């Protein structure tokens, strides 16, 4: 009798059930289809190409950029009794020879290869003589210039495949779901009529909390104090911010380390290992940290700043709770974060089209933050998956605030924008409505009397939040404009705005209950504040 994928899962891996999506993907591959599988970080992609490797005749080659993790993966497979090897720059000459010999003698079923090695002539001589049944490309978004981890060496993959004796099944795996990246993967890798799977995005054990508060330090310090025995990651958007948070926690005696692109390769590797081995509990990092990390017991992920996109956000929180246990994800948001992210886009991207694409992603992230809907539902919608169960695990659903009629306030904002002679950014609109004495505002040409200072009762932060909320609910539009110093966003009226003005529709928004303040003052907070201002002065 034939052994089924489920048998293999039980027997070799010791797991009882497949996770959502895994079995369909595996069956498609075994039935000779190219596959593009999009599954979140921690969703269980490896099994999807490893099980077919055991069923199909011939060798499966896994292309992966994660050299530091190959050895672990191969060792695990070997322990399970599967003939596996890897080829990357960490092998000595004699080890490399040994691997080549094993391939020659049909003693290798799964071979992990770093993409840089795909054109090494001695490897090619050996592999061209063999039947390769599957080429699995892990972290496949690395082929795309649109992705955040573009690798030139991934361009070698199609040449490598074309020169094999037979056309293998080509399978691609990634956690990145954007359309551009998806198209690039199919095109660059020449996938042949691939079956596309998007699954497993719902991680029920992760609670998703977005906290709009300027008192981030307080919150953070209070949180780590109350979770001292758990492992967690703090993501911040700049190296400097990482250093500040790290130093503040270290000074307080926490077991903490850091990771960002400004540290040497060795230091990064060392710090990562300390975290994986539980020698330290807290990792403070930029988004450079985490690809491919499979640490089961990460109990919380705190975003100290807003990430660049929903993909980035989901990938980063996906590192929590891989063991299936309840884990907490907390995004601390302040409107200033949007500016920081915009600054980072401006500083790092030249191409105007790519810039606009980045801004769109940023806006989608902002929309998520301001939504009063279920966060989980919005995220799943974004990835093209539908939510099956009720959510009782996100701060919007748990904190179900009152619905408040904000039509009047919305009308004030809309009529202000309507009376301005051309379109402006959010700051200018806020300044006009709050009656700012700013020279720029006083020089404006518009019908001042009717809306100038009309919304003084709002603080400028609250008013900004309110306008952003109107945008995220579709009552206003944000458009990106191309200027001589890059792109800038302005607010525009749309059909919905007109309907509000005509009193055809109401603006009803859910207001979060006044957040239960659980912060405690402590001396660490003061320390961190003074530390930060010192560094800022340097």
Which stretches of the chain bind Mg ion, using CB under 5 A?
Answer: 45
Which residues, other chains included, contact 439 with Cβ-Cβ below 8 Å and sequence gap of 6+? none
Which residues, other chains included, contact 133 with Cβ-Cβ below 8 Å and sequence gap of 6+? 53, 56, 57, 58, 59, 60, 168, 169
Nearer to Mg ion, 45 or 260 (CB): 45
From 466, 178, 198, 182, select the one nearest 308 (Cα to Cα): 178
Smallest gap from residue 270 Cβ to ligand ADP (A) = 22
44 binds, among ligand ADP, Mg ion, none (CB under 5 to 8 A by kind): ligand ADP
192 binds, among ligand ADP, Mg ion, none (CB under 5 to 8 A by kind): none
Smallest gap from residue 460 Cβ to Mg ion (A) = 44
452 binds, among ligand ADP, Mg ion, none (CB under 5 to 8 A by kind): none
From 345, 292, 300, select the one nearest 175 (Cα to Cα): 292
Residue nearest to ligand ADP (CB): 44
Task: Point out which residues bind ligand ADP (CB under 6 A).
Answer: 15, 17-19, 22, 39, 41-47, 294, 322
Q: Can you say whether the dihedral through the CA atoms of 426, 428, 432, 434 is positive or negative?
A: positive
Q: What is the DSSP code string of 106-168? A: T--SEEEE-GGGGG-HHHHHHHTTS-EEEEEETTGGGG-TTSSS--GGGGHHHHHHHTSSS--
Nearer to ligand ADP, 296 or 425 (CB): 296
Q: What tokens appear for 450 in the block?
A: 């009717």
Nearer to Mg ion, 47 or 169 (CB): 47
Phi-psi label, residue 184: left if phi above 0, alpha if psi -120 to 50, beta otherwise: alpha
Smallest gap from residue 344 Cβ to ligand ADP (A) = 26
From 11, 1, 78, 13, select the one nearest 47 (Cα to Cα): 13
Backbone angles phi, psi at 369, to 5 degrees: -60, -40
Are 63 and 137 in contact by the 8 Å Cβ rule? The answer is yes
Alpha-carbon distance of 42 to 317, in angstroms, equals 10
Partners of 463 in beta bridges: none
Nearer to Mg ion, 45 or 281 (CB): 45
Nearer to ligand ADP, 39 or 137 (CB): 39
294 binds, among ligand ADP, Mg ion, none (CB under 5 to 8 A by kind): ligand ADP
Smallest gap from residue 43 Cβ to Mg ion (A) = 9
CA distances from residue 456 to 110, 443, 461 in whole angstroms, order as listed:
67, 19, 12
Nearer to ligand ADP, 33 or 76 (CB): 76
41 binds, among Mg ion, ligand ADP, none (CB under 5 to 8 A by kind): ligand ADP
Smallest gap from residue 26 Cβ to Mg ion (A) = 15
Helices 310-317, 375-383: axis angle to 10 degrees equals 110
Smallest gap from residue 46 Cβ to ligand ADP (A) = 3
Smallest gap from residue 9 Cβ to ligand ADP (A) = 6
Smallest gap from residue 385 Cβ to ligand ADP (A) = 15
From 475, 486, 516, select the one nearest 367 (Cα to Cα): 475
Nearer to ligand ADP, 18 or 452 (CB): 18
Smallest gap from residue 51 Cβ to Mg ion (A) = 14
42 binds, among Mg ion, ligand ADP, none (CB under 5 to 8 A by kind): ligand ADP
Nearer to Mg ion, 298 or 366 (CB): 298
CA distances from residue 506 to 99, 368, 496, 500, 509 in whole angstroms, order as listed:
69, 21, 10, 6, 10
19 binds, among Mg ion, ligand ADP, none (CB under 5 to 8 A by kind): ligand ADP
Are 315 and 175 in contact by the 8 Å Cβ rule? The answer is yes
Host H or E run for residue 218:
helix 216-226
Smallest gap from residue 5 Cβ to ligand ADP (A) = 11
Which residues, other chains included, contact 80 with Cβ-Cβ below 8 Å and sequence gap of 6+? 12, 13
From 113, 49, 115, select the one nearest 82 (Cα to Cα): 49
Nearer to Mg ion, 36 or 463 (CB): 36
Smallest gap from residue 13 Cβ to ligand ADP (A) = 7
47 binds, among ligand ADP, Mg ion, none (CB under 5 to 8 A by kind): ligand ADP
Nearer to Mg ion, 65 or 168 (CB): 65
Nearer to ligand ADP, 17 or 534 (CB): 17
Alpha-carbon distance of 178 to 195, in angstroms, equals 17
96 binds, among Mg ion, ligand ADP, none (CB under 5 to 8 A by kind): none
Residue nearest to Mg ion (CB): 45
CA distances from residue 436 to 430, 451, 472 in whole angstroms, order as listed:
8, 12, 25
């Amino acid at each position: 009798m034939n052994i089924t994928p489920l048998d293999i899962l039980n027997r070799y891996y010791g797991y009882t059930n497949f996770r959502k999506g895994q079995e369909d993907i595996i069956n498609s591959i075994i039935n000779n289809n190219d596959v593009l599988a999009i599954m979140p970080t921690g969703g269980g992609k490896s099994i999807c190409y490893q099980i077919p490797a055991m069923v199909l005749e011939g060798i499966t080659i896994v292309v992966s950029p994660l050299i530091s993790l190959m050895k672990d993966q191969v060792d695990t497979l070997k322990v399970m009794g599967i003939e596996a090897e890897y080829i990357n720059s960490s092998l000595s000459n004699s080890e490399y020879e040994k691997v080549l010999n094993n391939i020659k003698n049909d003693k290798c079923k799964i071979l992990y290869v770093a993409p840089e090695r795909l054109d090494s002539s001695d490897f090619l001589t050996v592999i061209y003589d063999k039947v390769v049944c599957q080429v699995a490309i892990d972290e496949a978004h690395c082929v795309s210039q649109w992705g955040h981890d573009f690798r030139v060496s991934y361009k070698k993959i199609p040449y490598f495949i074309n020169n094999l004796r037979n056309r293998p099944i080509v399978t691609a795996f990634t956690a990145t779901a954007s359309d551009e990246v998806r198209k690039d993967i199919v095109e660059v890798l020449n996938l042949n009529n691939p079956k596309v799977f998007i699954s497993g995005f719902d991680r029920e054990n992760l609670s998703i909390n977005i906290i709009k508060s300027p008192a981030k330090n307080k919150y953070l310090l209070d949180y780590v104090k109350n979770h001292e025995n758990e492992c967690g990651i703090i993501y911040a958007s700049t190296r400097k911010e990482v250093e500040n948070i790290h130093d503040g926690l270290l000074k307080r005696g926490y077991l903490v380390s850091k990771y960002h692109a400004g540290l040497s390769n060795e230091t990064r590797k060392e710090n990562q290992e300390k975290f994986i081995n539980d020698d330290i509990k807290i990792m403070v990092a930029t988004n450079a940290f985490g690809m491919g990390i499979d640490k089961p017991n990460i109990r919380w992920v705190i975003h100290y700043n807003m990430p660049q996109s929903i993909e980035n956000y989901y990938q980063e929180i996906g590192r929590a709770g891989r063991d299936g246990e309840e884990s907490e994800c907390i995004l601390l948001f302040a409107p200033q974060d949007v500016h920081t992210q915009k600054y980072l886009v401006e500083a790092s991207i030249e191409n105007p089209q790519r810039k606009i694409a980045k801004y769109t992603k940023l806006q989608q992230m902002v929309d998520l933050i301001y939504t009063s809907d279920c966060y989980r539902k919005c995220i799943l919608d974004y990835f093209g998956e539908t939510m099956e169960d009720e959510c009782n695990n996100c701060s919007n659903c748990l904190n179900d605030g009152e619905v408040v009629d904000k039509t009047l306030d919305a009308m004030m904002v809309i009529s202000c924008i309507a009376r301005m002679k051309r379109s402006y950014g959010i700051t200018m609109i806020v300044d006009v409505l709050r009656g700012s004495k700013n020279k720029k505002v006083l020089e404006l040409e518009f019908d001042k009397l009717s809306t100038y200072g009309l919304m003084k009762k709002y603080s400028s932060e609250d008013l900004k939040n309110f306008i952003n909320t109107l945008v995220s609910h579709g009552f206003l539009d944000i458009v990106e404009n191309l200027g001589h110093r890059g792109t800038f966003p302005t607010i525009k009226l749309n059909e919905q705005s007109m309907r509000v003005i005509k009193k055809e529709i109401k603006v009803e928004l859910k207001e979060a209950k006044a957040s239960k303040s659980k912060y405690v003052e402590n001396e660490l907070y003061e320390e961190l504040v003074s530390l930060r201002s010192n560094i800022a002065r340097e």
